[in-house]
Structures are given as structure tokens and as C-alpha cells.
Amino acid sequence: MIARHGIDLIYVEFRVDLRLLRLLDRSDYMVMDCAYMAWPHRRYFRNLYRARPDWRVPSWDVLRTGDLSTGHRARHVWPHVPFRSFPAYCAWFYLERIFVTGLQTDLLCVHRSFGDEFEKAWRCSLN
């Protein structure tokens, strides 16, 4: 679909798929992550001996907090991502999801041919 229809913008729920990032990169998309959703789970070492209502997530910058349908508290956060290469980013994301916190993000993918228009629209929306 990407090659045949020339899609300018794609919004993707991301859950650690390096193949997806490579496909988007090869197809000439700029990939930007959005705020991450993080929710606590017992595998995080700080939650091992806490009762469920007191479970924690890492101390990332929190944008807002709300409840999931599971009853867990979730936070939209900006984690401090230490990597920029796709493979290292995917490894970091996977390990955070398994050992630290439930984690999900969305990706906004903008085709480079649409980049100038997108940037103008973005700047207008900020004013």
C-alpha cells in the first residue's frame, strides 16, 4: 500500500517491531514517537513487595495520568530514551516492557516528500 498509494502520514501503535521501523525507513518516512503510555506491573523490582495500589513506574516526565480498563493507573510519559539507532531502540523498548513497566507508544510517520508541508502545519498549530 505504501509504495502503490503514496501515503503521506501514517499513525502506528508501536510494540517493538524492528521490521516495521526498517520498512518505514526504506520507504522514506521520518519516524517520530509520541508520548508513551506506561503502567505498573510486578516485574519492576520496586514493585516486588508492594501491594498493587502502590505499584510504581519509573520517574519519567509525566504528562497526564488516568485509569486503564484493567483498573491499573496509566501515565502518558516522556521516558529518557538513551538510543537513536533502530536496533538499540527496539532492544531498550523491549527490556523496559518486560522488566520495568508496561509500555506502549504510537509513531507518527511522515513521508519525506510531505515533510515541508507537515512542518508548516505543525508550526501553525503551535501558534
- Give the model's pLDDT for residue 84: 82
Copy the grid coordinates of residue 96: 523496559
Q: b or e along 40-52 (b: 16 or more beta carbons within 10 Å of the residue's beta carbon)? A: bbeebeebeeeee
User: Does 49 have pLDDT greater than 80?
Assistant: no
Spatial neighbors of 111 by CB under 8 A, at least 6 apart, are: 6, 7, 8, 9, 27, 28, 29, 30
Average pLDDT over residues 41-53: 69
- Give the model's pLDDT for residue 99: 81
59-116 pLDDT, tens per residue? Answer: 788 888 888 787 777 888 888 888 889 999 999 999 888 888 888 899 999 998 888 8
Q: How far apart are CA 83 and CA 86, in angstroms?
A: 8
Question: Does the predicted TM-score (pTM) go above 0.85?
Answer: no
- Return the bridge partners of 38, or none: 75, 103
